Amino acid sequence: MIEQLGNGLLLGVIIALGSVALSLLYGVTRIVNFAHGEIIALGAVMTLFFSSSPDSSLLFFDRYSPIGINFFGSIVISIILCGIFGASLEIFLFRPLRKNNFGNIAVLVVTIGLSIFLRHIYLLFASAKPSSFILELQRREDYFGIQLTPRNVQVLVLGFIVMILVGLFLTYTKTGKAMRAVRDSSDLASVSGINSDNIILVTWIFSSMLAGFTGIIQGVINNVRWNMGFLILLLIFAGTVLGGIGTSFGAMFGGFVIGVLVQLSVGLEFMDGHTEAKNALALGLMILILLIRPQGIFGTKDRIS
Amino acid sequence: MNKYITASLLLLGCIAYIFSSNDTGSSRVFVNLITFAGVYGLAAIGINVHFGWTGLLNFGHAAFMGIGAYTTVLLIPHSLGREGVVISTGLPLPIAIIFGLIASALLGLLLGLPTLRLRGDYLAIVTIAAAEIFRLLVRDFENLTGGVYGIIQFSDSLQVYRPNFVDVISTRYDVSSAQLWVAILTWISIVLVIIILSRLQKSPWGRALRAVREDEDAVRALGKNAVWLKLQSFMLGAAIGGLSGIFLVFNYGTVQASTFVPVLTFYIWAALILGGVGSLGGPALGAIIFWVIIAGTDSISRLLFESPDGQQLAGVRFVIVGLLIMLFMIFRPSGILGKKEELLLDVK
């Protein structure tokens, strides 16, 4: 079981980052964004597109040749593009819906349509086979009894740093405080002179950039595929529900716990030979949490009924 | 009345399209399409009971369809898995179908209990997760379900009931008699289900359900158990979904882990939103139009790509499905036949 701990920490960081982005967006806009997974995939797909060399025998883009710029440069470009994408979603789709008093359920169905639409756009532009970033292969080494490649250790540290930065941003900056104010009560926030439209736009950008980053580290750790967002989204939902939907630190914690648990469960005896069932276990756990404590560990009751 | 004229014109246009775009074997295409439309229409009627009547968001319909289908098929004579283990004894089909419907309803009860007390979007998350759990478990527990190898050779249980006139028609028009029989049964079931539902809708129970959708607190104040009403509606829709799943596998003649994937649910939602949420006949009409659109998207694929492979065909189909769901939800949420005042679009 301990040999899975390294993988568990990695998955935990991915899901924690994805959960905090989803939960923040939900808290501020009340949108359960089923297209969140597709924004995660967008970060990975674009990084792959920018970083792979044009003559690489990559199967992913069989009709469009990759651009082939520096890997770190392409990460930065992809994250910025994810932010722009999030902003355009808000400006051209969700803001008009909000102004026309669309109900939450109608918006939820729209995000489901958006998710199907985007995911299959990726499928059309890319191939169905998973691909990896152009990075050299590394051997696993021993860190305090946990087996990880040096790159994955870097990703792990980077992921934790980003989580701390997100926490500091939400707690101490003016924008972060305004986001939390709108989340807690948009009426009171606008009375205090906060322009909630601007804050919602900033939240979309912030959440999308964070999602894009999540996708990139997921791509570094595992691989890039067109439907990677949908698969991870369900685990992100599980993490968010565990921590408390609408919370930020709760979602981070819940996501991390779900990631570690899912990966550790692979080592359990009755899971032997049922590798796929580990995700089922996490989703089953989510349903159980909803039965026992629907607001999650850190959530408050007013959000749920 | 206007929308019924629109609906009839659309339906005529669809049939004309099928017969004009296929020079050879158009009757075969027609029967194939009408079978799938029937199955999806029946499934969409199930979601309509959830969403249209009660305002419940069910995005895991594939699981309800699947559990009904697997339960039924496993109870009748079949051949299972990689080795094709033949199980030649089993229950008579009608009894197996009843067990299948009960299984679907029980899954509805199981998923509904923890979530129906909560706000609407939790149910969406839980049902979508349940569909994924169902797919993973079916794939993983090969001993029971046959996994990716699936279950075959169970169709005879249905086809022994096939009356003579079906064979006469199918030889005259050169179509598969087995599929025609499934199509006839599916559409008979749709008519029966619609008749039952229209009676239920007018009953005190149906009025109470709509009241739950409109204002749950008012229902509670009148002494009705709103959660139990929602659960009943959830189980009823789940059982209708199970019935459509049974017809789906009898149409294929096989059932594998890939038959009931979560995306199946989104096809059905697209059909429902097209036809009209909240109306009785809307889902069935939507399913026909939906399948004609799907057939049309394949010609779009041929325009975009020289010789589209399966992946490109699926990609274009789903891009269109996603767009349809989005555009109809934004610009005409009541679909072709629905009533706008019968729509619940806010979270309760």
The pLDDT of residue A2 is above 80: no
Inspect the interface and report whether the beta carbons of A104 and B122 lie closer than 8 Å: no
Nearest Cα to Cα of residue B173 among B309, B46, B31: B31
Inspect the interface and report whether the beta carbons of B121 and A276 lie closer than 8 Å: no
Inspect the interface and report whether the beta carbons of A106 and B312 lie closer than 8 Å: no
- Nearest chain A residue to B57 by CA distance is A105
Distance separating alpha carbons of residues A121 and A226, to the nearest angstrom: 9
Question: In chain A, which residues have their Cβ closer than 8 Å to the Cβ of B344?
Answer: 103, 105
The tokens for B195 are 């008749």
Tell me the three state secondary structure of residue A148: strand
Say if CB B170 and CB B277 are below 8 A apart: no
Q: Which helix (H) or strand (E) holds B79?
A: strand B78-80
Domains of chain A: total: 1
CATH code linked to domain B9-342:
1.10.3470
- Supply the range of the domain harboring residue A73: 2-303
Nearest Cα to Cα of residue B347 among A168, A106, A99, A90: A106
Distance separating alpha carbons of residues B348 and B341, to the nearest angstrom: 16
A198: contact with B, CB 8 A cutoff: no
Chain A, residues 77-116, CB within 8 A of chain B, namely 97, 102-106, 108-110, 112-116
Q: How far is B158 from chain A (nearest CA, A)?
A: 33
Query: B209-219 b/e with 16+ CB inside 10 Å = b?
Result: bbbbbeebeeb
Query: B71-102 b/e with 16+ CB inside 10 Å = b?
Result: bbbbbbbbbbbeeeeeeeebbebeebbebbbe
Tell me the three state secondary structure of residue B24: coil
The pLDDT of residue A32 is above 50: yes
Sheet hosting strand B78-80, strand order edge to edge: B85-87, B78-80, B151-152
- Asked which of A19-23, A282-286, B199-203 is least confident by mean pLDDT, the reply is A282-286
Q: What is the DSSP letter of A273?
A: T
Nearest Cα to Cα of residue B248 among B62, B124, B5, B108: B62
Inspect the interface and report whether the beta carbons of A120 and B318 lie closer than 8 Å: yes
- What value, to the nearest 5°, has the Cα angle with vertex B50 and ends B49 and B55? 115
CA dihedral sign of residues A29, A259, B127, B276: positive
Inspect the interface and report whether the beta carbons of A237 and B125 lie closer than 8 Å: yes
Q: How many residues does chain A have?
A: 305
**Predicted pLDDT of residue A207:** 94
Option in B115, B140, B326 nearest A117 (CB): B326
Mean pLDDT value of segment A116-130: 84
The pLDDT of residue A233 is above 70: yes
Distance separating alpha carbons of residues A171 and A178, to the nearest angstrom: 10
Percent of chain A with pLDDT over 70: 91
Tell me the three state secondary structure of residue B309: coil
Nearest Cα to Cα of residue B186 among B250, B261, B259: B250
Mean pLDDT value of segment A222-228: 87
Mean pLDDT value of segment A107-118: 92
**What's the N-to-C CA distance of chain B in angstroms?**
32
DSSP secondary structure, B219-280, as one string = HHHTT--HHHHHHHHHHHHHHHHHHHHHHHHHHHS-B-TTTT-THHHHHHHHHHHHH-TT-S
C-alpha to C-alpha distances, B41 to A58, B38, B265, nearest whole angstrom: 42, 5, 12
**Predicted pLDDT of residue B141:** 82
The pLDDT of residue A277 is above 80: no
Distance separating alpha carbons of residues B256 and B66, to the nearest angstrom: 10
- Summarised one tens digit per residue, pLDDT across range B198-253 is 999 899 998 888 888 888 888 888 888 888 999 999 999 999 999 999 999 999 98
Give ipTM to 2 decimals. 0.86
Q: How far is A60 from chain B (nearest CA, A)?
A: 13
Distance separating alpha carbons of residues B322 and B314, to the nearest angstrom: 12
Model pTM?
0.88
Mean pLDDT value of segment A258-285: 78
Higher pLDDT, A32 or B339: A32
Tokens 């009971």: give the residue. B49
**Predicted pLDDT of residue A217:** 93
Alpha-carbon A124 to chain mean position: 22
**Predicted pLDDT of residue B345:** 58
Question: In chain B, which residues have their Cβ closer than 8 Å to the Cβ of A284?
Answer: 133
- Asked which of A207-211, A275-279, B339-343 is least confident by mean pLDDT, the reply is B339-343
- What value, to the nearest 5°, has the Cα angle with vertex A151 and ends A147 and A157? 85
Question: In chain B, which residues have their Cβ closer than 8 Å to the Cβ of A110?
Answer: 325-326, 329-330
Which one of A36, A92, A101, A116 makes the best mutation probe of the B interface by having the most chain B beta carbons within 10 Å? A116
**Predicted pLDDT of residue B348:** 44
B39: contact with A, CB 8 A cutoff: no
Inspect the interface and report whether the beta carbons of A294 and B323 lie closer than 8 Å: no
Tell me the mean pLDDT per 10 residues along chain B, length 348.
77 77 74 92 94 87 94 90 80 93 94 80 85 87 82 86 87 86 94 94 89 83 87 94 95 89 88 87 90 82 76 85 90 79 58
Per DSSP, what are the bridge partners of residue A143?
A: A146
The pLDDT of residue A78 is above 60: yes
Q: How far is A268 from chain B (nearest CA, A)?
A: 16
**Predicted pLDDT of residue A244:** 84
B309: contact with A, CB 8 A cutoff: no
pLDDT band at A305; cut points 50, 70, 90? very low
Option in B129, B312, B321 nearest A237 (CB): B129
Chain A, residues 135-194, CB within 8 A of chain B, namely none
Question: In chain A, which residues have their Cβ closer than 8 Å to the Cβ of B123?
Answer: none
Inspect the interface and report whether the beta carbons of A123 and B115 lie closer than 8 Å: no
Higher pLDDT, A133 or A90: A90
- Summarised one tens digit per residue, pLDDT across range A155-197 is 999 999 999 999 899 889 988 888 888 888 777 888 888 888 8
Option in A113, A116, A304 nearest B329 (CB): A113
- What value, to the nearest 5°, has the Cα angle with vertex B203 and ends B200 and B208? 100
**Predicted pLDDT of residue A152:** 87
Q: Write the single-letter amino acid at B129.
A: A
Nearest Cα to Cα of residue B8 among B339, B340, B321, B337: B337
Say if CB B274 and CB B330 are below 8 A apart: no
Q: What is the DSSP letter of A147?
A: E
Which one of A124, A266, A291 makes the best mutation probe of the B interface by having the most chain B beta carbons within 10 Å? A124
